[in-house]
Amino acid sequence: MSTHPDYLAHYRGLLVLVTGAEGFIGSTLVEELLAAGARVRALCHYKPYRERGFLAAYEHDDRVEFIAGDVRDANVVDNAVSGVDIVFHLAALIGIPYSYQAPDSYLQTNVIGTHNVLAACRRHSVRLVHTSTSEVYGTARVVPIPETHPLQPQSPYSASKIAADSIVMSYWHSFGTPVAICRPFNTYGPRQSARAVIPAILRQLHAGQREIRLGSLSPTRDFTFGTDTARGFLAIGASEEALGLALNLGTGNEISIGTLVDKLIRISGHDARVVLDDTRLRPAGSEVERLLADNTEVKRLTGWNPEISLNDGLARTWEWITTAPVHAGAPSYAR
């Protein structure tokens, strides 16, 4: 149980829009909202085969209304926002490596899509919680990283998110649109796509591979379990003090990728060794070497506090990998 459950009670009886709802974090957030007594309107990326991603179990649940569409379509977004009490905007293109190949796609989805959501929230007088990323900080100049840290676009993905964050804040300053920015550090856990480092390693171990192929082992990351991140969204969405602010969501602890893989090998109980793979390295000047959250402000303003330790979270993720070995994985456009 959370030590600060009052922000969960805030959502009882509300109608909440979640964009990117079928993805890893999005679906976890939907389940937390339902547990808190909310009704959810789920905007999912249109697919002709009606795939609901990780929300398939809620296909016939009266508490969940599905809308198929694309945040790049202003009309779809406007219809989705109409009549809701609050919007959690998670829909985005998020794969950093693909952003080197298709930067225009990231601008269209992450920037234009966010503007469509903002304009609809302004039109309908609806509060917005926008999803940022710790990647906007780039390689840390100071640690732990406060929200006042300079923004450094070290990939087309991070540049698109910096632009989106700026547009969000412009609506707060220009129009008084009630907005808050949630800036998660590295979220992990069950349902995460195999493109991410933790499930990628665990899937290799589960498949019995003796060599784990990785790029750089020196970068450090601040890993937050999925349900903790989802609760952070809810805490920020319920806080009047969070309006007009960007708030970090992270544990305040860091681990290097090299140490992480050693830990994952031990958790799996398998024998494996790490093999450096140059094809997995980011372009020179693009690798973010260190991410460590200063979470002081979000704790002070909202009462949120991460509850799942890294060891516990990794064990839960390994259990998910081994007990449900076939997963479609979170789509690249949904968190």
| C-alpha–C-alpha distance, residues 317 and 223, integer Å | 13
- Closest alpha carbon to 152 in 166, 164, 135: 135
Q: Is 184:135 a contact under the CB 8 Å cutoff?
A: no
| C-alpha–C-alpha distance, residues 135 and 286, integer Å | 11
| C-alpha–C-alpha distance, residues 276 and 290, integer Å | 19
| C-alpha–C-alpha distance, residues 9 and 22, integer Å | 23
- Closest alpha carbon to 134 in 169, 181, 177, 101: 181
- Closest alpha carbon to 248 in 94, 133, 335: 133
| C-alpha–C-alpha distance, residues 266 and 318, integer Å | 11
Which one-letter DSSP state was computed for residue 62? T
Could you tell me the two tokens for 316?
């839960």
Peptide bond into 48 cis (omega under 30): no
Could you tell me the two tokens for 83?
């009549």
Catalytic residue among 157, 171, 188, 333: 157
| C-alpha–C-alpha distance, residues 17 and 324, integer Å | 29
The answer to whether 157 is a known catalytic residue is yes
Residues recognised as catalytic: 157
